[in-house]
Amino acid sequence: MRVAILVPSLGGGGAEFVAREWARWLNTTGVDARLVVCGPVDPLLRPDGVQVHSIPDKGFIRRLLAVRRYAASSRVDIILGLMPYFNLLALISQFGRVGGRARVVISGRNVEVPLRKIFGIKFRAIQAIAKICYPFADAYIAISHTVAAEAAALYRIEPKNIYVVPNPATAKVDVRAAHATIKCSRDTLAPQHSLNLVVPARLVEQKRPHIPVLVASEITKHFEHVEVHFFGIGPLESEIQQLAQGCSVSVKFHGWVEAWFEECPPNSVVLLASLAEGFGNVLVEAASVGIPSVVSSRCLGSSDAIVPGLTGELCAGDSVNDYAEAVLAVADLTMNGAESAWLSRFTLESSGNRVLRVLRDVYKKGVRSEIVPLAVELADRSE
């Protein structure tokens, strides 16, 4: 079975990380998994043993034709798209191919309805085209149950073609070593009555990075020292800096750090104030190293990435007071290992096995659908 995973690049976000991990793992199972990316290939991110093919980095038509040619010349059995634009690229590239059509599996990585106002006309246009094209996909992989439910309702994808495959969210984390280190620092090295709010997210409107600053201002009366640590970059950094100065809140900008959990200070609580998430890898990564998290129940997809009372808290509302109360509730939360069985759901092996099952199901359906016309043709010839 030959699978081409279609993503923007080898790095830069969660989908790209998942694509690299899935490709690397699938190859260990005997699947010929390749990565198809736009533009130059970063050699530092190229997974060992995985073929990487580059297509044009500009122009939908040029990319479309490149994917179509590559699928035909390489005899790709399945194209797996990650992210809406690349889902459409994968689907449309196979329209009109009568013989040797690659099966198409698309993927939903985010809850999309709340994002319409933020991302504007281009996002709505892609969504409108997706409503026409998505029902033709051979399978749809959802990052969480919330994303799966939305896809069934919004895109009219049949439930029998929808699979929920958890992200390999613990792949970055050496759970034992990191867990021991964080617990030691939390228990013995932290100044008493201090708290660090950790925000591992891009500094963009969707992630609402101003909320952690306001929460820090709200809870300063409960601690001798509160500091907000941002692990991410984005256009709102200067705005957040000004807000922090106005609120007399201490903030640190660490930039983009892939293994952010290794640089968290003692007595940390992760606060994710996103308007919407399809899942929330950072919530699982935090749990893997013993750091509690707070996220709103209204950040729908994140409900799959947190266990309330065990790895953190889902606050009912979305106000600064709601977040502040939740942070105070988990500030002294210590994980005792009961979460380990839940965390095993997000290992590379568990995630890889699930995506492999999806690909095998789609591949078998494709083989059967091509055998039937051939059998009819042979029967006609015998007459």
Domains of the chain: 2-168+348-382 (3.40.50.2000), 175-341 (3.40.50.2000)
- What are the distances in angstroms from CA 63 to CA 6, 37, 50, 90, 103? 11, 10, 21, 10, 18
- Which has the minimum average pLDDT: 189-198, 259-268, 311-320? 189-198
Ramachandran region of residue 102, left (φ > 0), alpha (ψ -120 to 50) or beta?
beta
pLDDT over threshold 80, residue 139: yes
pLDDT band at 369 (very low <50, low <70, confident <90, very high): very low
| H helices, E strands: number in the chain | 12, 13
Q: What is the dihedral of CA 68, 72, 77, 81, to 10 degrees?
A: -20
d(CA 113, CA 275): 11
- What are the distances in angstroms from CA 49 to CA 45, 46, 75, 170, 341? 12, 9, 19, 22, 31
What is the arrangement of strands in the sheet containing 312-315, beginning at the earlier edge strand? Answer: 250-253, 225-230, 194-199, 268-272, 293-296, 312-315
The tens digit of pLDDT for each residue in 320-364 reads 999 999 999 999 888 888 788 899 999 999 999 999 999 999 998
Tell me the average pLDDT across 157-185: 73
Q: Which position has the higher pLDDT, 39 or 23?
A: 23
Are 91 and 81 a contacting pair, CB within 8 Å?
yes
pLDDT band at 185 (very low <50, low <70, confident <90, very high): very low
Are 166 and 354 a contacting pair, CB within 8 Å?
yes
d(CA 108, CA 279): 10
d(CA 80, CA 62): 19
For residue 3, give every residue at least 6 positions away whose Cβ sits within 8 Å of its Cβ, in sequence order, or none: 26, 31, 32, 33, 34, 76, 77, 78, 79, 80, 359
From 365, 363, 366, select the one nearest 29 (Cα to Cα).
363
- Which has the minimum average pLDDT: 72-86, 143-157, 182-196, 296-310? 182-196
For residue 118, give every residue at least 6 positions away whose Cβ sits within 8 Å of its Cβ, in sequence order, or none: 205, 206, 275
Tell me the average pLDDT across 233-241: 95
Tell me the average pLDDT across 213-242: 95
From 282, 280, 287, select the one nearest 309 (Cα to Cα).
287
Identify the sign of the CA torsion 301, 306, 307, 308: negative
d(CA 272, CA 323): 9
d(CA 24, CA 173): 17
For residues 189-212, one letter each, b for 16 or more C-beta atoms within 10 angstroms of the residue's C-beta and e for the rest, the string is eeeeeebbbbbbbbbebbbbbbbb
Q: Which position has the higher pLDDT, 378 or 71?
A: 71
Tell me the average pLDDT across 188-215: 86
Tell me the average pLDDT across 128-155: 94
DSSP 19-33: HHHHHHHHHHTT-EE
Can you read off the two tokens belonging to residue 41?
């290939």
Pairing of strands 268-272, 103-108: unpaired
Are 203 and 235 a contacting pair, CB within 8 Å?
yes
